[in-house]
Structure formats: structure tokens, C-alpha cells
A and B are shown apart, each in its own frame.
Chain A
Amino acid sequence: MDPVTRRNFIKTVIAAGATASSVGYLFRGPGALLGQTPSAPGAVERLITLNVNGQMRRVDVMKQETLAMTLRYKLGLTGTKLGCDRAECGACTVLIDDVPHYSCSVLTHTVRSRAVVTIEGLESPTGELHPVQRGVLDEQGFQCAFCMPGFIMSAVGFLKVNPNPTRQELAHGISGNLCRCQDYDKILTALMKGVEYTRGASNA
């Protein structure tokens, strides 16, 4: 296999849609380590430790692998959804060191030694829902809910920098997430309820 250069990465991972092939998602499974020689120029260590949801996880990661793929296909954390794989929709949003990121557009190797939190990591160790999750539950936010994990992670991240947003400010804070049911009004109501609960929890 050719050395992975930025040019090749873009060529294979991003640009293939315009040709006759349908190479959109690219994912190489752990079973097929085709042509990867550890001593190849630019090679990086494959077996790395990730801090995901407070746990240290050893995982075999290709250098061109995105965090979304690692989470979904290596760590079994399928709550993180892929809606576009191109940083357009936000369904794959996770927190990295408390900041929301599109995990489809983050290379897993760049998050070593950083704390990753997914939707599965929001509940307390005793199984209590995060206040934002409770708000969504109580107001029945979201319809099909495929976008829900991303929206919730965006909101949780936004509340860390603005714990007291107005409805309008919250809308701006989560505007990097798309909902195609367009249940936006109820999403905002539900997440504002989550804001209220979060405030209550931090005051307690």
C-alpha cells in the first residue's frame, strides 16, 4: 500500500464520490492488515490507549481511521451516529476534553491522551441520566432520534462554556447539528429543560 500522505488520504477518503466508484466510507477491519509494514515511512504505532467515557481502552487503530469509526466499529459504541461522514450534520458529535467535535472528522490518533465522552458516557456510574438526557426524556424531544446523540453532546458541551443560555443562544450553540424530522422547536424546548435541570444539579 502506498504511504499514507495527505494527498492520498484525501484522494481515497474524500474525493472518490465523483468517479464511478462509490468510495465514501472507508473502513479497514482489524482482520485485514493488508500491506501495512510497521517500518514504512510515516508509520505510527497502531496499538494505542484511548480514554473513552472514563475508561482506558486499548485499541488497534489505523492511522487514517476516524474517531467515529473507532468508536462504532472497534469499541462497540454505536450511540455515536454517522449521518454524513463529512462534517455536515453533527450526528457523530462527541466531547473531546469537554469540547464538542464531529468525530467523523477527527483522526483517532490525534485524541491519544485526551478524554473522549460519547452519549454512552453521559450517565453517572450509578446509572442516573445526565440532566440534559432527563430534559429530553421529560419533554420528549426528537422524533426519529438518529440525530439525538449528536445534539445532546453538542448541548452538553455548549453548557460547559455557557451554563445559562437563552433559547436563542442555545440554538446558536447547537446549530452545527441537523435534524431532518425538523423537530427543532421541541428539541430546543427539551434541551432548555435540560439546561434547567443542569442548573438545578450544579446548585444542589
Chain B
Amino acid sequence: MPDAKLVGTNYLPPDHIAKVTGRAKYAEDFRADGMLFTKLLLSPMPHARVLYIDKEGALALPGVKAILTADDLPDLNGAEKALTNEPLYVGEPILAIAAVDEASAAAAIEAIHVDLAPLPFVVDPLDSLRPGGPNARRGGNVWAAPQPPAPGAQGPPPPPATDLVKWTEADFADDEGDGTRLPMGRALEEWSFGDLEAGFTDADLVLDETFIVQSTGHHPMETRSAMAYWQNGKLYLHASTQSVAATVAGVARWVGITPADVVLICEFTGGGFGSKGAGAVSSAIPALLSKKANAPVMMRISREEESYIGRARTNMSGRARVGFTKDGKITALDLFLVQDSGAYGPMGDHRSCGNAASLIYQPGAMRWRAINVLTNTPPRSQQRSPGPMQADGIMEPIVTKAAKQLGLDQVAIRRINAPEGKAIYGPAGPNGMRPHVTSAFVKEALDRGVEVFGWEARKARSGQRRGPKVRGIGVAVGPHGAGSVGFDSIMTIRPDGKLYVQSGVGNLGTHSVFDLARPAADVLAMPWEKVEVIWGNTGKHLPNTCLSVGSQTTHAMTRANHAGAMDAKRKLQEIAALDLGGSPDDYELGNERVYRRGNPGRGLSYAQAAKRAIELGGRFDGHSVPEDVHQITKTSAAALVGLGLMGVAKDTFPRDGNTFSFVVGFAEVEVDVETGKVTLVDYLSVGDVGKVVNPRSLMAQLNGGSCLGIAHALCQKWVIDPQYGVTLARRFHYNKPLTILDIPNHLQATALDLPDPETPVGARGVGEPPVGAGYGAVLNAIADAIGVDAFRRAPVTADIVLMSLEHGRRMHEPLRTHL
């Protein structure tokens, strides 16, 4: 491989000029002739059955073109549909109307008469587990544990099943009588490793604490608006999605057509944070209304509606019993989780939470138990660091408390427990072995942060009171899975001498959509000005691409494009050898030419080689492609045949371990003990995220992710009224997202830039691990300032701070989910 020239350097992303001039088009910016507009009828009840819908009055109104109900949608085997006849939460769409304009559609919605039969509902997971408590669904109140496939089973796995679980009064009777500890009744999921009891016996200190991790709405700036029309039997959908190539399959399923009949256009997405991973189920509404009305249909989703259908973080109540030795080493961890999957799911945050806890604290023995409860609250989806972020919330206050009691430095106790190298985590797999990560340099990151943040100097002033202000410092390690394998790439060197890279990644502004082309250009020694990235439209023949979720894109797609570029390079060498003699290995690449080693005059320009590839045909110009690439890739490659020399390959590079990234967060806060206001004074994140691909974008990801965690510690929450099941934290105002005034004047971020040994480019993902680090570090800093027992829930709002300080112990509700 030639020296990396593009990987590791900043560049101007090719879409940025469109963004600063306002020409970048997001889903709602598209127009089509005769375009109709949509309004939705949302459920006013948290759980009900639709008995009857009277559409006559609405249809009689001028301008009304079509009405869509759940009966018009394909059955999804029990999974969430875009419309429902049994709403499971307040705000769930029941019906949609397309009309010539929104005022007419809204008037028609008002003219609809719906008979709803109310059903029992529940908002708090613990209420559902109580004896005689209500169930979120008629079929049960919890998600059953997923069953491993039967030996020799064919076809798709069975749909997830609900179950009915009630705990006993004895389960709810707190052992200490103060009702502050999470009850632990029957759990449906469990794993363990090591000797837990021996671990506790060996411990010098055992702590048993409960923490409530809140839910928060994702609320990307762009709501999930979508516009659809049909042409020649194909659906053209302008939607807001995190992924592009990988969104097609879901859209096809939701609409009830084959993936080949979906063209998805999404060049720009106004944020997702996990809420638009594979698109949004609601996009089926304009698609099917458009078919019914035989006209293009725009569905603009309001911020209010986004509060209902826009997804939220999976909230979790966790109880951890942890054993520590005198020097802070964790000997045993007994973790119990009550997860709230909302109205749909099942969510898997509880599983990644358990894995993350085992990874970042490396306990000698561990048991993980969890129950996955359904409630009549809006649907959850993965939110930036689903699971590991909750692990930081539940575990960090305990580790900080242990450090205080044992007289240890906060960094030292994290360092002694930190994962290192190919660290193992989680339960044993079917092969009896516990999995391990590809690499971890957490200790290095902690050391770097101590130095850059000036930890020791800040420690000296922490706890000191100046007037009403007291300072505190905190540190936390945020982990997250950061890479998958096995995806494809397609690229062509064309007779104009340029490299065209097909990018199936979504464009969330992290620039991975373009970053993935840079290792390919490096392999081909191609200057960046000669690289065209083709993206944002599945009509443009994109390869099989990972979902842009789970911090996997940079890792997965740099590998795939490295593979494709290696294929193109080999073809360049082979063509040169065919035309100029010798063996392919005699040729190397440089100056946009393939030439004989030591004799740069003897060679072909890339433009000439591209023309020769087209003449030669076969695998050189894509007439035949490797057997192992995905069918999606084969179809796309077939459409690009004959355009030039084609590099097309599947990522088959070996990988030992599962890829994780780590970010260490360092925070200093100032708490005003008279007002309860917490101010973040300084924040540093240190990334152990592999080789740095795009430094400026990486810092933005580190800072942006940290801010989401900081917001969870300081202000952001989601509240559902338990009496009526109504979402109270609607829109931005009541969600309390972080503003530009809530962060320090400068956020600091740095990265180790140590390549991961298990991927050719060395890069791992970064989107998610900063979130848990930000959450944990700020919680720890607040605890350092006002006391390690001052709170056991987040966000730590002024009322929690003031009540704790006034009473000398925490006074907030210990177990209620929504406050």
C-alpha cells in the first residue's frame, strides 16, 4: 500500500458549498407537479381499539383526494406499521388524508369521526410488573427472551413474542424499607461468568445502588418528512434517512412492494441520532397515499408530531451490586436492569448495556439479568450509544462512590479496571468462549487525558468553595461497538481519467459518505480532485452498504473500499502487463499512471487503462463480478458495465475480535449551591477510535457526541404523564436540549490515532462512544462537587441539587420513570 496521503488529513467535503448557500435539498425541499399534502389523525388515547371510522364527511370536503387507514397497509407480522387500528400510545397515527393543501387536509381530519374503545394502559414499567398491574398490550406486558434458532431451522427467525410477567408483593418489599432500591423479581434474560459469590467474598467493599437513566427524544433538526410519487410502477421516495442503500429493503416491506421497485433519494439528512437508522416506517404513508390518489404526495411532519413518532432513547432502571478490592479492582458485578421498550420494540439496549459494563469495568465475575417491559409510550429506537450510555449512567456513580470510600483517585480506579488490548467482555458464546475486542487503548487514553486536561491541578481545586460556587471534576470511559465487516464496494476509473466511487452511505454531515472514498484513492494514488463520489440516490447504482448506525460505517466501508481499490489496482497492473509485457507485479501506480517499476515512461495513463478495460470487457469493466458480492452489488455493477475499469469487491479481510471504540471524557463543573445551577466549566474527550481518517470531522463527532451525553446529565429529559399517558415533553422547549450557552467557550477533543490492528485502514467508528463518556463524566463531576449520594437519576436538575443539599441526603423520587 502506498503511503497514506488522504487518510488522516482534512479536506473540504464536496457537499459543503450546497449547505452554506442553502441549495442543499432535504426531503421537504422537493416539489412535484400536482403535489398533494398530508395530515395525520393521531390517537388521543394511550391504548385503544378503533371500532369504526366515518370518512364520509371528510371525503365530501373540497380538495380531499385520498384517505389511508391501517387496512391499506401490508401486514408486517406484528411489527409496527405506519398506521394502526389499535393505537398503543398517545400520538400514534390512525389515519392519513391527502388533499390539495394542508388546510384542506386538516379540515378533513377534523371531519373524520373515529370511535375508539379505550383499553388499559401503563406508563411506568414497574407499574406493569406489580401484581395486578396493567399490561401495555392485550397479549402481555413484556418481551419474551429471544429464542435461539432451532437446529436446522430455515427461513427468517420467528417474530418476537410478548409474555406476561408479574412480580410478587414480596419482590416489591424493599429489604431496607426505604423503597430506594430497584425491586428484582423474575427476569426473563440472564447470563453470567466467573464465580460471583467468591468475587463478593474477596471484595473489601460492596456497594448496592440503583440508578434511573431517563428517556429523551431524538429530535433531529429535520423531522421525518417525506415526499413520494410513482413512475412506471416504481416508487420514488424523497425521505430523511441515516442510510441510503440500506433503507430500500425496509421501505419495500412497509409499502408492500419489491426492493427493485423502490428508488430512494436522500442526498442530505438533517440528523437522525439513531431515529432514522433504516428510514422511518411513516414514509409508507405518502408512498401509499400517492398510489391511491395517483399524484405526488408530501407529508410534512411537524415538531409536535415528531415528539410522538420521532423515537426516543430506551430508558432503563438499573441496580448494580459491585465488589471492589482496596485498590479499586472490581471483583464482582451483579447487574439487574428493567428496560422500557415503549409501545414497540423489542429494544436491545439492555443487552448492549450488560456487554458494555463487562467491557469497561472488566469485573472478575458478573451476572446480568434483565426484563424488557412494554409501556404505552411512544416508540423507542436506538439513540446514539444505545446501551453503553445507559451502562455509564448506572455504573459511574457507584464507581465514583467507591473511589471516595476507598480514598482512590477517580482516574486511578478507572485505569485499574480498564480494558486493554484484546480485552474480553460479555457472556460466553455458543462456542463456550467469551468474545474479545480487536483492540483497546483505554489506559493510554486515560493517561493522555490526565496530561491534556491538567487533571492534577484541577483535582487540587475540586471541592473548594468560593462564595456559593463549588467545583467538581469527573472522568468516565464511554465504549461502543464501532465496526462491522462484509460489505461491498464499486468504483470505476473512467476514460476521463477520474475515479468514481459509488457510496451507499447516508449523509448525516459526519462525512463518512465521502471519507470512505479516501482510502480507495490512496490505494490508487489518485489525487482527490480526480475523485467523484456518487451518493444519495439508489437509482445511481450503489453497492451493498452497511446501515449508517452503530458507529460502524467508517470501519465497514473503509474496509470495503480498500478491497475494491485493491481490485482496481490489480486490474490496472494486469492491463499494463498485457499491453506492455512482464507480469502485473512489475507495475506500480503513481501520477495517475500505471507504469513499469523503475521506468515511469513505460506505462499507461489511467484514462488509457480505462479505455483498454472497456475494450477487454469481462471482469475488467464489470461484465463479470466476483461471486461473493451481494445481489444488490451485482445489480448495481451490471448497470455500470462498460463505463470504465471497475473495482468491485466484498470486504473479506480477516478480523480477530469485535470492533469497539472508546472515548474517555474529563469534565469540570461548578455548582451554585444557592441556585442549584450546574455549569460545565471545561470538557475534554480523548478518542481511542483507531486511525484518524478525517481529523476535523472526528473532533466534531467527539464534541457533538459528548454534548449529547452532557445534555443527558444536565438538562434533557422526556416526561410522560402517568395519569393520562400523554407525552408532556413535546417539541424542543419541553425537551430541554443543550444550547450553545450550555457548553464551555471551548470544548477540547483529541484522539490517540493508534490504528486498529484488525482492519487494513486502521479506522474504527466514533459516533457513539463519546455519549456515555459525556454522561458519566459530568455526573461524576457533579457528585464530586456536591456528594456521591446526592442523586441517583439524571438529568441532575437544580431541584435535585437544592433538595439534596438542603436535606443532606437525596430527596428525589427513587424509582419513578417519568419526573
Q: Are B741 and A79 in contact (CB under 8 A)?
A: no
Closest residue of B by beta carbon distance from A79: B22
- Taking the nearest CB of chain B, how far is it from the CB of A179, in angstroms? 7
- Give the interface segment out of A39-47, A95-103, A108-116, A118-126: A118-126
Q: Answer yes or no: B222 CB below 8 A from chain A CBs.
A: yes
Q: Answer yes or no: B62 CB below 8 A from chain A CBs.
A: yes
Q: Answer yes or no: B733 CB below 8 A from chain A CBs.
A: yes
Q: Are A143 and B510 in contact (CB under 8 A)?
A: yes
Q: Answer yes or no: A152 CB below 8 A from chain B CBs.
A: yes
Q: Answer yes or no: A140 CB below 8 A from chain B CBs.
A: yes
Q: Answer yes or no: A60 CB below 8 A from chain B CBs.
A: no
Task: Report the bound CA distance from A187 to B703 in whole Å.
Answer: 11
Q: List residues 726-743 of chain B with CB under 8 A from any CB of chain A.
A: 730-733, 737-741, 743
Q: Which residues of B contact A83 (CB under 8 A)?
A: 221-222, 303, 732
Q: Which residues of B contact A80 (CB under 8 A)?
A: 22
Task: Report the bound CA distance from A88 to B40 in whole Å.
Answer: 22
Q: Which residues of B contact A142 (CB under 8 A)?
A: 19, 509
Q: Are A171 and B740 in contact (CB under 8 A)?
A: yes
Q: Answer yes or no: A19 CB below 8 A from chain B CBs.
A: yes
Q: Are B302 and A22 in contact (CB under 8 A)?
A: yes
Q: Are B509 and A24 in contact (CB under 8 A)?
A: no
B1-26 CB mask vs A (1 if < 8 Å, else 0) is: 00000000010110011011111111
Q: Answer yes or no: B696 CB below 8 A from chain A CBs.
A: yes
A6-48 CB mask vs B (1 if < 8 Å, else 0) is: 0000001000110111111111110110100000000000000
Q: List residues 135-151 of chain A with CB under 8 A from any CB of chain B.
A: 136-137, 139-140, 142-149
Q: Are B42 and A133 in contact (CB under 8 A)?
A: no
Q: Are B738 and A182 in contact (CB under 8 A)?
A: yes
Q: Answer yes or no: B786 CB below 8 A from chain A CBs.
A: no
Kindly name the residue among A177, A185, A186 whose own CB sees the greatest number of chain B CB atoms within 10 A.
A185
- How many positions in chain B have a CB within 8 Å of any CB in the partner chain? 74
Q: Are B303 and A133 in contact (CB under 8 A)?
A: no
Chain A interface, >50% SS class: loop
Q: Are A29 and B101 in contact (CB under 8 A)?
A: yes
Q: Which residues of B contact A63 (CB under 8 A)?
A: none
- Taking the nearest CB of chain B, how far is it from the CB of A54, in angstroms? 15
Q: Which residues of B contact A17 (CB under 8 A)?
A: 302, 304, 730
Q: Answer yes or no: A178 CB below 8 A from chain B CBs.
A: yes
Q: Answer yes or no: A129 CB below 8 A from chain B CBs.
A: yes
Q: Answer yes or no: B711 CB below 8 A from chain A CBs.
A: yes
Q: Answer yes or no: A82 CB below 8 A from chain B CBs.
A: yes
Q: Are B10 and A140 in contact (CB under 8 A)?
A: yes
Q: Which residues of A contact B40 (CB under 8 A)?
A: 22
Q: Answer yes or no: B28 CB below 8 A from chain A CBs.
A: yes
Q: Which residues of B contact A20 (CB under 8 A)?
A: 41-44, 114
Q: Are A19 and B704 in contact (CB under 8 A)?
A: no
Task: Report the bound CA distance from A77 to B25 in whole Å.
Answer: 11
Q: Are B37 and A185 in contact (CB under 8 A)?
A: no
- How many positions in chain A have a CB within 8 Å of any CB in the partner chain? 70
Kindly name the residue among B19, B104, B730 whose own CB sees the greatest number of chain A CB atoms within 10 A.
B19
Q: Which residues of A contact B104 (CB under 8 A)?
A: 28, 32, 34
Q: Which residues of A contact B510 (CB under 8 A)?
A: 143
Chain B interface, >50% SS class: loop
Q: Are B700 and A186 in contact (CB under 8 A)?
A: yes
- Taking the nearest CB of chain A, how far is it from the CB of B43, in angstroms? 7
Q: Are B737 and A178 in contact (CB under 8 A)?
A: yes
B286-327 CB mask vs A (1 if < 8 Å, else 0) is: 000000000000001011110000000000000000000000
Q: Which residues of B contact A178 (CB under 8 A)?
A: 221, 732, 737, 739
Kindly name the residue among B20, B63, B114 whose own CB sees the greatest number of chain A CB atoms within 10 A.
B20
A172-191 CB mask vs B (1 if < 8 Å, else 0) is: 10110111111111111000
Task: Report the bound CA distance from A152 to B21 in whole Å.
Answer: 10
Question: Given contacts A31-B100, A78-B29, A120-B21, are A145 and B743 in contact (CB under 8 A)?
Answer: no
Cβ-neighbour of B740 out of A12, A129, A145, A184 (below 8 A): A184
Cβ-neighbour of B747 out of A123, A145, A185 (below 8 A): A185
Q: Which residues of B contact A16 (CB under 8 A)?
A: 106
Q: Are A129 and B101 in contact (CB under 8 A)?
A: no
Question: Given contacts A181-B704, A182-B703, are A27 and B103 in contact (CB under 8 A)?
Answer: yes
Cβ-neighbour of B22 out of A24, A26, A119, A171 (below 8 A): A119
Q: Which residues of B contact A137 (CB under 8 A)?
A: 12, 16-17, 20
Q: Are A182 and B704 in contact (CB under 8 A)?
A: yes
Q: List residues 52-108 of chain B with CB under 8 A from any CB of chain A.
A: 62-63, 93, 100-104, 106
Q: Answer yes or no: B353 CB below 8 A from chain A CBs.
A: no
Q: Are B110 and A21 in contact (CB under 8 A)?
A: yes
Q: Are B221 and A186 in contact (CB under 8 A)?
A: no
Q: Answer yes or no: B708 CB below 8 A from chain A CBs.
A: yes
Question: Given contacts A17-B730, A22-B305, A168-B745, are A143 and B20 in contact (CB under 8 A)?
Answer: no
Q: List residues 318-353 of chain B with CB under 8 A from any CB of chain A.
A: none
Q: Which residues of B contact A28 (CB under 8 A)?
A: 101-104
Closest residue of A by beta carbon distance from B508: A144
Kindly name the residue among A27, A89, A118, A140 whose own CB sees the greatest number of chain B CB atoms within 10 A.
A140
- Give the interface segment out of B269-277, B397-405, B471-479, B613-621: B269-277
Question: Given contacts A81-B26, A144-B270, are A23 and B39 in contact (CB under 8 A)?
Answer: yes
Task: Report the bound CA distance from A78 to B696 in whole Å.
Answer: 28
Q: Answer yes or no: A199 CB below 8 A from chain B CBs.
A: no
Task: Report the bound CA distance from A84 to B301 in whole Å.
Answer: 10
Cβ-neighbour of B26 out of A29, A146, A185 (below 8 A): A146
- Taking the nearest CB of chain A, how far is it from the CB of B557, in angstroms? 18
Task: Report the bound CA distance from A177 to B738 in whole Å.
Answer: 11
Q: Which residues of A contact B509 (CB under 8 A)?
A: 142-145, 181, 183
- Taking the nearest CB of chain A, how far is it from the CB of B751, in angstroms? 15
- Taking the nearest CB of chain A, how far is it from the CB of B770, in angstroms? 10
Q: Are B22 and A85 in contact (CB under 8 A)?
A: no
Q: Which residues of B contact A177 (CB under 8 A)?
A: 740
- Taking the nearest CB of chain B, how far is it from the CB of A172, in angstroms? 7
Q: Are B711 and A182 in contact (CB under 8 A)?
A: yes
B256-279 CB mask vs A (1 if < 8 Å, else 0) is: 000000000000111101000000
Question: Given contacts A22-B41, A177-B740, A180-B273, are A145 and B19 in contact (CB under 8 A)?
Answer: yes
Question: Given contacts A83-B221, A83-B303, A144-B271, are A183 and B20 in contact (CB under 8 A)?
Answer: no
- Taking the nearest CB of chain A, how far is it from the CB of B727, in angstroms? 10
Q: List residues 345-388 of chain B with CB under 8 A from any CB of chain A.
A: none
* Extra pairs beyond A26-B103, A85-B303, A178-B221 (10, CB < 8 Å): A23-B39, A25-B102, A27-B101, A29-B101, A31-B101, A88-B731, A145-B19, A147-B270, A175-B740, A178-B737
In the assembled complex, 7 residue pairs joining A and B whose CB atoms fall closer than 8 Å, in A order, are: A28-B102, A84-B731, A144-B269, A152-B20, A175-B740, A180-B221, A183-B704
- Which 7 A-B pairs have CB atoms at the shortest separation, nearest pair first? A79-B22, A24-B302, A146-B270, A143-B509, A182-B707, A119-B22, A29-B101
